[in-house]
């Protein structure tokens, strides 16, 4: 117990003293995850909205597949991307493997199904309510999408936060394609994995505390988004 | 209206619509010239809402034609018929942005939409509510906003599907005042209702539907004093027992 107590003390010192290596890891993690969520949002929001209002053969199968992909194991996503980005893979020429770019791609791959699936669900509900009014205004098909995305903004913010939560907490994908290289591709989760096995508990604990605080912040933001939505837009 | 050209008269010929094997509208023909308030009467399931939706273009008819004096009911690329629904669809935005959104969809620039939205809200006594989230307004305010939103589009013809069926008497009076104002400004109104008292107050002409068929098309005064046909008489008698 004494060791654990000392580890906690050391962890708080790392955070309090603004340890450069420590905050480099936190910074990289945030950069990778935020970029991945941004990319997933750019692709996933219109895609999910399109899936919500489009009718085509096999649509149900696509929806089931997307929903299933929300549970894609991070290590599998990492493995797939590893095969694609490795030297002999189809995108090996990019030279992304073991760089933050590969990690961003891996996390975007994990977040995308969450964004698409939650957007599809949200927009489909809204579409059934808005459909006739928008058609009356001549906004049919894809012309309805901007209105729907904007009016679902508070629910969609929650979907993006869910994606952020998943990406910031995962370790498997970034470990495989990033390689956990100190100073280059070491994130909070991969560092915790490594430092725990090495016995460097203060660093692992410190990073763990930051991750926990991040999770708390995400949930507070999600809660705030729905409260603000109810107040300023009457969104439900 | 500003332009001399009008999308009216509207000529509906042999209109039919079926769903799931049931014929819901059959052989409906009528002509709608500019001006006046046309009440579409009939009991529940007679096809009143369906007829409005077909005319407005929300549904494609199974047979028959809907012909406007201007192609597609549009002039200068803008559709000049609008619709107000029984349960107003309120976007998750302010009252003002609800109106501005409709205008933007009709091709107005951002600044023009904002200006015309404010003018429409002011005209119908909604200026104080401009910044309120539309979905947090009362039912009556929402329906007035929906009508103001449709009116802002400067339609030649406005379809209204039971606009007062969910409103209390006070709100109903306000909505009827709006409709009278619109009519006085030359907007032709075609309104489904099963409120006979309302039809008496507002309508200049009655289209009476019974199980998807147009059984009567008469000036309102004639329809109420001497209902043509057994179904219309039964409808009026049946409704009167409730009023």
Inter-residue contact B188 to B8 (CB < 8 Å): yes
Residue A87 structural domain: 2-235
Position B179 pLDDT exceeds 90:
yes
Model confidence pLDDT, tens digit, residues A72-126: 999 999 999 999 999 999 999 999 999 999 999 999 999 999 999 999 999 999 9
Quote the tokens at residue A13. 């010192």
Looking up residue A104, the CATH number of its domain turns out to be 1.10.3720.10
Domain count, chain A: 1
Indicate the pLDDT class of residue A2, thresholds 50, 70 and 90. Answer: low
Q: How far is CA B52 from the centre of its chain?
A: 7
Section B171-189 average pLDDT: 96
Model confidence pLDDT, tens digit, residues B103-122: 999 999 999 999 999 999 99
Section B184-189 average pLDDT: 96
Quote the tokens at residue B138. 């009362």
Give the model's pLDDT for residue A202. Answer: 86
Position A236 pLDDT exceeds 70:
no
Indicate the pLDDT class of residue A185, thresholds 50, 70 and 90. Answer: very high
Query: CA nearest B70: which of B80, B62, B60?
Result: B80
Mean per-residue pLDDT of chain A? 92
Helices (H), B106-214: 110-123, 139-152, 169-184, 196-202
Give the model's pLDDT for residue A201. Answer: 87
Phi and psi, residue A58, nearest 5°:
85, 5
Inter-residue contact A45 to A37 (CB < 8 Å): no
Question: Looking at the partner chain, which of A151, A232, A236 has a beta carbon nearest the beta carbon of B91?
Answer: A151
Model confidence pLDDT, tens digit, residues A45-61: 999 999 999 999 999 99
Section B168-194 average pLDDT: 95
Section B12-25 average pLDDT: 94
Least confident span in A11-15, B25-29, B166-170, B207-211 = A11-15
Give the model's pLDDT for residue A215. Answer: 87
Give the model's pLDDT for residue B240. Answer: 54
Position A68 pLDDT exceeds 70:
yes
Contacts of A236 in chain B (CB under 8 A): 135
For chain A, say whether B148 makes contact (Cβ under 8 Å): no
Position B243 pLDDT exceeds 50:
no
- A-contacting residues in B 119-138 (Cβ below 8 Å): 133-136
Q: What is the DSSP letter of A141?
A: G
Q: How far is CA B129 from CA B74, B98, B101, B133, in A?
A: 31, 12, 16, 9
Nearest chain B Cα distance for residue A136, angstroms:
7
Indicate the pLDDT class of residue B51, thresholds 50, 70 and 90. Answer: very high
Contacts of B59 in chain A (CB under 8 A): none
Section B163-185 average pLDDT: 95
Q: Is the peptide bond before B9 cis (omega within 30 degrees of 0)?
A: yes
Whose structure tokens read 């930051």?
A210
Section B120-145 average pLDDT: 95
Model confidence pLDDT, tens digit, residues B208-219: 999 999 999 999
Inter-residue contact B179 to B160 (CB < 8 Å): yes
8 Å CB contact of A133 and B56: no
Contacts of A139 in chain B (CB under 8 A): 105
Length of chain A counted residue by residue:
236
For chain B, say whether A235 makes contact (Cβ under 8 Å): yes
Contacts of A137 in chain B (CB under 8 A): 101-102, 105-106
Question: Looking at the partner chain, which of A135, A139, A229 has a beta carbon nearest the beta carbon of B58?
Answer: A135
Model confidence pLDDT, tens digit, residues A196-220: 999 888 888 989 999 999 889 988 9
Query: Which residues partner with B12 through β-bridges?
Result: B30, B66
Separation between Cα atoms, residue B110 and residue B89, nearest integer Å: 22
8 Å CB contact of B106 and A138: yes
Give the model's pLDDT for residue B4. Answer: 57
Nearest CA in chain B to A128: B89
Query: CA nearest B86: which of B158, B161, B159, B147?
Result: B161
Contacts of A229 in chain B (CB under 8 A): 92
Section A34-38 average pLDDT: 97
8 Å CB contact of A234 and B133: yes
Least confident span in A117-121, A128-132, B75-79, B125-129 = B75-79
Give the best residue of B49, B57, B58, B92 to mutate against chain A (max A CB count within 10 A): B92
- A-contacting residues in B 40-79 (Cβ below 8 Å): 53, 56, 58, 79
Position B3 pLDDT exceeds 70:
no
Nearest chain A Cα distance for residue B1, angstroms:
20
8 Å CB contact of A151 and B93: yes
Contacts of A134 in chain B (CB under 8 A): 105
Question: Looking at the partner chain, which of A138, A150, A234 has a beta carbon nearest the beta carbon of B135?
Answer: A234
ipTM value > 0.90: yes
For chain A, say whether B83 makes contact (Cβ under 8 Å): yes
Interface size between A and B, measured as CB pairs under 8 A: 48
- B-contacting residues in A 126-185 (Cβ below 8 Å): 129-130, 132-139, 147, 150-152
pLDDT over 90 for what percent of chain B? 86
Position B98 pLDDT exceeds 70:
yes
Indicate the pLDDT class of residue B1, thresholds 50, 70 and 90. Answer: very low
Position A4 pLDDT exceeds 60:
yes
Quote the tokens at residue A14. 């790392």
Question: Looking at the partner chain, which of B58, B83, B92 has a beta carbon nearest the beta carbon of A234?
Answer: B92
């Amino acid at each position: 117990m004494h060791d654990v107590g000392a580890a906690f003390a050391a962890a708080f010192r790392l955070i309090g003293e603004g340890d450069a290596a420590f905050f480099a890891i936190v910074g990289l993690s945030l950069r990778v995850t935020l970029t991945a969520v941004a990319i997933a949002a750019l692709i996933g929001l219109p895609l999910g909205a399109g899936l919500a209002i489009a009718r085509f053969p096999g649509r149900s199968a696509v929806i089931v597949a997307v929903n299933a992909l929300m549970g894609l194991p991070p290590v599998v996503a990492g493995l797939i991307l590893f095969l694609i980005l490795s030297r002999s893979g189809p995108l090996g020429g990019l030279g992304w493997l073991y760089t933050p770019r590969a990690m961003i791609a891996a996390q975007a791959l994990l977040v995308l199904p969450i964004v698409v699936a939650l957007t599809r669900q949200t927009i489909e509900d809204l579409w059934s309510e808005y459909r006739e009014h928008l058609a009356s205004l001549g906004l049919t098909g894809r012309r309805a999408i901007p209105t729907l995305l904007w009016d679902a903004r508070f629910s969609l913010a929650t979907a993006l936060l869910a994606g952020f939560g998943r990406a910031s907490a995962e370790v498997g994908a970034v470990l495989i394609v990033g390689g956990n290289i100190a100073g280059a591709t070491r994130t909070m989760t991969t560092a915790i994995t490594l430092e725990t096995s090495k016995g460097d508990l203060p660093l692992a604990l410190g990073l763990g505390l930051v991750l926990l605080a991040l999770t708390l912040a995400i949930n507070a933001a999600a809660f705030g988004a729905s409260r603000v939505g109810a107040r300023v837009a009457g969104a439900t | 209206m500003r332009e001399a050209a009008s999308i009216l008269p509207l000529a509906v010929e042999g209109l039919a619509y079926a769903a799931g094997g049931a014929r819901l509208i059959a052989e409906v023909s009528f002509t709608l010239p500019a001006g006046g308030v046309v009440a579409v009467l009939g009991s529940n399931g007679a096809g009143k809402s369906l007829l409005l939706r077909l005319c407005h273009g929300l549904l494609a008819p199974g047979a028959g034609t809907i012909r406007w004096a201007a192609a597609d009911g549009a002039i200068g690329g803008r559709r000049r018929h609008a619709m107000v629904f029984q349960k107003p669809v309120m976007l998750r935005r302010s009252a003002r942005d609800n109106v501005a959104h409709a205008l933007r969809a009709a091709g107005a620039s951002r600044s023009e939409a904002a200006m015309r939205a404010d003018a429409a809200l002011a005209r119908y006594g909604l200026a104080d509510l401009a910044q309120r989230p539309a979905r947090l307004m009362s039912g009556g305010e929402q329906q007035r906003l929906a009508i103001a939103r449709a009116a802002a589009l400067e339609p030649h013809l406005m379809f209204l599907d039971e606009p007062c069926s969910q409103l209390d008497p006070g709100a109903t009076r306000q909505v009827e005042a709006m409709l009278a104002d619109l009519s006085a400004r030359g907007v032709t109104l075609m309104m489904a209702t099963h409120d006979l008292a309302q039809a008496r107050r507002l309508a200049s002409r009655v289209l009476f539907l019974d199980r998807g068929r147009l059984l009567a098309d008469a000036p309102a005064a004639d329809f109420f004093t001497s209902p043509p046909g057994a179904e219309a008489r039964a409808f009026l008698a049946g409704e009167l027992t409730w009023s």
